[in-house]
Amino acid sequence: SAVISQKPSRDICQRGTSLTIQCQVDSQVTMMFWYRQQPGQSLTLIATANQGSEATYESGFVIDKFPISRPNLTFSTLTVSNLSPEDSSIYLCSAGGQPAGGGEQYFGPGTRLTVT
């Protein structure tokens, strides 16, 4: 299984600013994903981070609000832009998902974002 780290673990940001979250995997992985988990809710997929190409966004999520980078096979960033209190949530990075490997995904520890 992959070991995944995220930075920062938590942050408090002001409305209108942006936060960039970093995700580092200890081995090369094909697939990286970004999720949001609001309090008491399940996980919602924001986008799939593709190495060498633009991220693939799920319905309801747009690149202008959630720009994603994937410069190599071990690293990705998610930026949450123009923050509003509704963006307060936990943001999770995951890695894995290769169909040949069964599709397992492993999660980072998450980033807790509070927008004031």
Partner 1 sequence: QKEVEQNSGPLSVPEGAIASLNCTYSDRGSQSFFWYRQYSGKSPELIMSIYSNGDKEDGRFTAQLNKASQYVSLLIRDSQPSDSATYLCAVRTYNTDKLIFGTGTRLQVFP
List strand residue ranges (DSSP E) for the chain, in order.
4-7, 10-13, 19-25, 32-37, 43-49, 56-57, 68-72, 75-80, 89-96, 105-107, 111-115
- DSSP assigned state of 15: T
Query: Quick one: 60 or 102, whose CB is closer to partner 1?
Result: 102
- Dihedral sign, CA of 72, 13, 59, 40? positive
The span of 21-29, 42-50, 63-71, 79-87 binding partner 1 (CB under 8 A) equals 42-50
- Binding of residue 39 to partner 1 (CB under 8 A): no
Token digits of residue 114: 């509070």
- Binding of residue 97 to partner 1 (CB under 8 A): yes
- Binding of residue 41 to partner 1 (CB under 8 A): yes
CB of 98 to partner 1, least distance (A): 7
CB of 24 to partner 1, least distance (A): 15
Q: Which chain residues interact with partner 1 by CB under 8 A?
A: 1, 31, 33, 41-43, 45, 48, 92, 97-99, 102-110
